[in-house]
Structure 1
Amino acid sequence: MNYSNVDNNNNNQVWTRYENKMFENALAELDVSSPSLFEKIMAKMPWKSLEQIKSHYEKLIADIAMIEMGEFCFPNGADVDKKRKGAPWTDEEHR
């Protein structure tokens, strides 16, 4: 994988989907209350600085808080509460 777009001086850099998935998997595997959480994530993602990992974690926590408070706007005007249009399943299809 090419990480040439990494700017170690910029904590606000864009993370790739792959990097986000790695980060999320690390959080799922590790004890988030551990005082060495960020160092353990950095061991799994050595091309990221400790500051980048901390910044990404703080943004994730802020996003989660916004979602829980109902203050998050989904991109492209998506409305997750709208029911999908279409024909309901028949009893035969449901079996």
Structure 2
Amino acid sequence: MASNFISSSRNSASSWTQRQNEQFEHALAIYDRDTPDRWHNISRVVDGKSAEEVKRHFELLVKDIMKIESDQVPLPNYRTSGANGRAFENEQR
């Protein structure tokens, strides 16, 4: 039984809907790092997420930002359409 709980908890923690992400972002704007019980307050705004889940989500986002800012994430190679309607690939800088 405990392993089922852990498994479902992991799935819930890793799966965020667009609505939950929007709620999370909105709550982060309201409850800054100096807010007492910040993660509990944010979890009350985000449907179906616990304080531990929103804290972990934040920590993962911070890690992602740090990787991006330190150039550890390659730029995507998007295909776009030029002014003449012909497709071309963006150059990576």
* TM-score normalised by the chain length of structure 2: 0.63
TM-score normalised to the size of structure 1?
A: 0.62
Q: How many residues align?
A: 77
> Which runs of 5 or more residues in structure 1 are unaligned?
1-6, 88-95
Paired residues of 2:20 and 2:47 also in contact (CA < 8 A): no
Deviant stretches of 4+, over 6 Å: none
Counterpart contact for 1:23–1:41, Cα < 8 Å: yes
* 1:83 Cα deviation after fit: 8.8
Asked if 2 retains the 8 angstrom alpha-carbon contact of 1:41 and 1:53, the reply is yes
Match in the other structure for 1:30:
31
Cα RMSD for the two superposed structures: 2.7
Q: 1:73 to 1:16 in 2, by over 3 A?
A: farther
Which has the larger share of helix? 2
Report the CA distance between 1:29 and its aligned residue. Answer: 2.1
The structure whose RCO (Cα within 8 Å, separation 6+) is larger is 1
Instruction: Quote the residue 1:86 is aligned against.
Output: 83
Structure 2 match to 1:4: none
Taking only the aligned residue pairs, the percentage that are identical comes to 29
CA contact (8 A) 1:8 1:48 kept: no
2-structure distance, mates of 1:50, 1:57: 11
One-letter identity of the residue aligned with 1:85 = G
